[in-house]
Amino acid sequence: MQAVKNLQSVQMRPRKPAFRRAWLSWIGIVSVIALWQIVVWLRVYPEFIIPPPISVVERFWEALADGTLWLHTSTTVSQMLAGLLFGVVSAVILGTLIGKSRALEALLSPLIVAVQSTPVVAYAPLLVIWFGSGPTSKIVTSALIVFFPMLLNTMIGIRSVPVMMHDLMRSLHATRWQTFRMVEVPYALPVLLGGLKVSATLAVIGAVVGEFVMADAGLGRLINQARFSFDTPLVLVAVITLAAIARFMYGMISVLERRLLFWQRRQ
Amino acid sequence: MMRKAVMVLAAVVMIALGVTVTMAQETSDQTLFLTFVPNIQFSPFYVAIEKGYFAEAGFNVTIEHGDEPIGVDLIASGSRQFGIISGEQVIAARANGRPVVYVYQWFHQFPVAIVATENSGIESIADLAGRRVGLPGRFGASYSGLIATLSANGMTEGDLSLQEIGFNAPEVICIGGVEAAAVYVNNEPLQIQNRIDAGDCGSVTGIRVFPVSDYAAVVSNGLVTNEQTITENPELVGAMVGAIDQAVRDVLNNPAEAYLMSAAYVEGLPLSDDFRAWLEAESASASERGDASPLESVVYNQALRDALVDVSDRDAALQFEILLNTAALWANDPLGYTDPAAWETTAQTLITMGFLDEAPDLSGAFTNDFLPQIP
């Protein structure tokens, strides 16, 4: 019986910090809302600039009930996911190739850095003209914005494999595929997942920037529409929804990270 | 004698100091909010700075450009006291608790039009039914202008295949993306026509323009302030309106001079030596002619537009023509007067657009009380 109790206490112990962290996150969110309400009470700004939290909540339920929020959120999420997929897949493929070839890096890096150093808002209008006002331009914007961090992390990951590991695989007469699968992927995975976390949040920005320029639907379009009709609570509803999507994506990739990198925790 | 001289000198010094202090007190820094980017269409504000109208009125004016909703919020919250905002934005803003007031109508004709390609066979607004029509987005002047035009013709946006194309109408029309588009009447039709003339507009051979003002009286851009400024400092509002009114009048009278003055404010405004000389000659002849009424000026400026055919610098000619087209939209007698009936039409348009649920109280939305011509 005592052994079972001991086992339970051992199992419970690691959960405590996570539980505490979750509470701290909520305390942080509640504090921001409390501060927001205090600013409203103190009338630092008129209510049309900073509306009270309750009116944002009311507007949230209205937008949810009439289907507006779902329409725009689903559009943004689908475009973001497509952009993330294209951006990540192409970056991982190219990042792997560049990670293995210095010549390819020398050839492509000026171009890649040039694209990355240009703010997305500068070229988003051009993408809309080139790819049309439909979802393609938003997917391309999203893919471009996630491409660089993912590419960089893939390169770093591939190059993080110690030389002795390559020597070992060669001594075992391993094929290229075996080396890639058994050594390079496991070594690259932690860095790669770090890049994926950043990319997932950036993908939201990419999709929304495209929607700001021109769109029939999406949270960026909803923000524009709400701004021009002076509906500040609806602007905040859309902004908070975007933040929630980004946080959800981050959380999902953290879960994926824990599952894929289980061996790290064992170590 | 000596004592008298000292007293006179002291009096002179005191008066001088007093004048200086008064002048220092009367000069206030004002940031004037404008939408879009520095552009020849904003020439009255550059002229008001260059000719010292703002300074005479006691203002040291800085111009800032930004998004219209941001401008409305800055003015409504008192961070800015003046800005150029469109009428429908004032109604929508007031309906959402923003105490902004429209005090001077700058554009007397709504600057939006529907432009359609000749190839499309669209010869009337009714012909737009079922066609692909572009607009920047479902917000702002283009959208309200389109809805007002459709309403006046017994149509709704559901009758069209509306496509949001941003501010890219010339490009999208020329590649055949849409058959018609809501555009700024003083600008995009000229750009499209120029492309057609240059053989750079795909299969488009010509355009038809349907100005919104032919179908509906919708309130356009004007000077906006807030209720607090009107209550606490009506002289300030009157002074600002007076300075802008004089500048608008000057641009109508002498657009060539306005173009020359605007060159310092609009980066990249084409101004070759030949065109500068042409403008200087036209400006001198306008000065000799003297002041004309705003509506007479439009007639004079038509002759100026015709003379542009001989100008070799086509980029500059296009920009100057945009100024002439724009100035024609400002002309009214009296300048600055805003028609209450147009506000009713605009409010009704906003209801049709779904931006308002019910007819708003328009009583505080606008005033003609500050116009220089109306006692």
Q: How far is CA B84 from the centre of its chain?
A: 8
Tell me whether residues B177 and A45 touch, CB distance under 8 A.
no
Per-residue pLDDT at A26:
87
Report CB contact under 8 Å: A228, B164: no
Nearest beta carbon to residue B137 from set A46, A224, A231: A224
Pair of tokens at residue B88: 């429908």
CB contact under 8 A, B77 and A128: no
Which of B37, B73, B161 best probes binding to A when mutated, by most A CB atoms within 10 angstroms?
Answer: B73
User: Given this model, what pLDDT does residue B2 score?
Assistant: 52
> Which pLDDT score, from 0 to 100, does residue B373 have?
66
Dihedral sign computed on CA atoms, order A167, A171, A177, A181: negative
- Segment 112-151 of chain B within 8 Å of chain A by CB: 136-140
- Comparing CB atoms, the residue among B72, B97, B163 nearest residue A133 is B163
Assess A52–B contact: CB distance below 8 Å, yes or no: no
Is any Cβ of chain A less than 8 angstroms from the Cβ of B163? yes
Q: Would you state the pLDDT for residue A15?
A: 54
What are the helix (H) ranges across chain B? 2-26, 43-50, 53-56, 68-76, 87-95, 140-152, 169-174, 188-197, 227-232, 234-253, 255-262, 273-289, 294-307, 314-330, 340-353
Rounded CA-CA distance A164/B52 in Å is 78
| Structure-block tokens of residue A127 | 């993408």
Residue appearing with tokens 């190839």: B119
CB contact under 8 A, A128 and B73: no
What pLDDT does A154 receive?
A: 92
Bond before B69 cis per omega within 30 degrees: no
Residues 6+ positions from A81 with CB-CB distance below 8 Å: A203
**B73 — contact with chain A (CB < 8 Å)?**
yes
**Beta-bridge partner residues of B86:** B221
3-state secondary structure of B155: coil
pLDDT tens, position by position, A108-143: 888 888 877 888 888 888 887 788 778 999 999 999
Count the alpha carbons within 13 Å of B163 in the hemisphere toward its beta carbon. Answer: 23
Task: Find all residues with CB under 8 Å of B110, minimum gap 6, and list them.
Answer: B141, B145, B148, B211, B212, B213, B216, B217, B218, B219, B220
pLDDT band of residue A150 (cuts 50, 70, 90) is: very high
From residue B188, give the alpha-carbon distance in Å to each of B40, B213, B263: 14, 16, 21
A230 and B98: CB-CB below 8 Å?
yes
Which stretches of chain B score pLDDT less than 50?
1, 16-25, 375
φ, ψ (nearest 5 deg) of residue B163: -130, 130
Q: DSSP of B121-180, one letter per residue?
A: T--SGGGGTTSEEEES-SSHHHHHHHHHHHHHTT--GGGSEEEE-TT-HHHHHHTTS-SE
Please say whether the beta carbons of B140 and B218 come within 8 A. no
Here the tokens at position A141 are: 């914007």
ipTM above 0.85, yes or no: no
- Looking at residue A142, its pLDDT comes to 93
Which among B73, B96, B171 is the nearest to A231, CB-wise? Answer: B96
Distance, in Å, from the CA atom of B172 to the CA atom of B188, rounded to the nearest integer, reads 12
The predicted structure's pLDDT at residue B17: 46
Strand-strand pairing, B132-135 and B180-184? parallel
B52 and A CB contact within 8 Å: no
Q: Which of B14, B76, B100 is nearest to A47 (CA)?
A: B76
pLDDT at A261: 82
Q: Is B334's Cβ below 8 Å from some Cβ in A? A: no
Whether A39 has its CB under 8 Å from any CB of chain B: the answer is no
Residue B361: CB partners within 8 Å, gap ≥ 6? none
Do residue B355 and residue A128 have CB atoms under 8 angstroms apart?
no
List the structure tokens of B183.
């555009």
- pLDDT by residue (tens digit) across A184-201? 888 889 999 999 999 999
C-alpha–C-alpha distance, residues B140 and B111, integer Å: 12
Structure tokens at B322: 């945009």
Digit-coded pLDDT (tens) for A163-184: 888 899 999 999 988 998 889 8
Biggest alpha carbon–alpha carbon distance for chain A: 73
Nearest Cα of chain B lies from the Cα of A134 at a distance, in angstroms, of: 9
pTM: 0.80
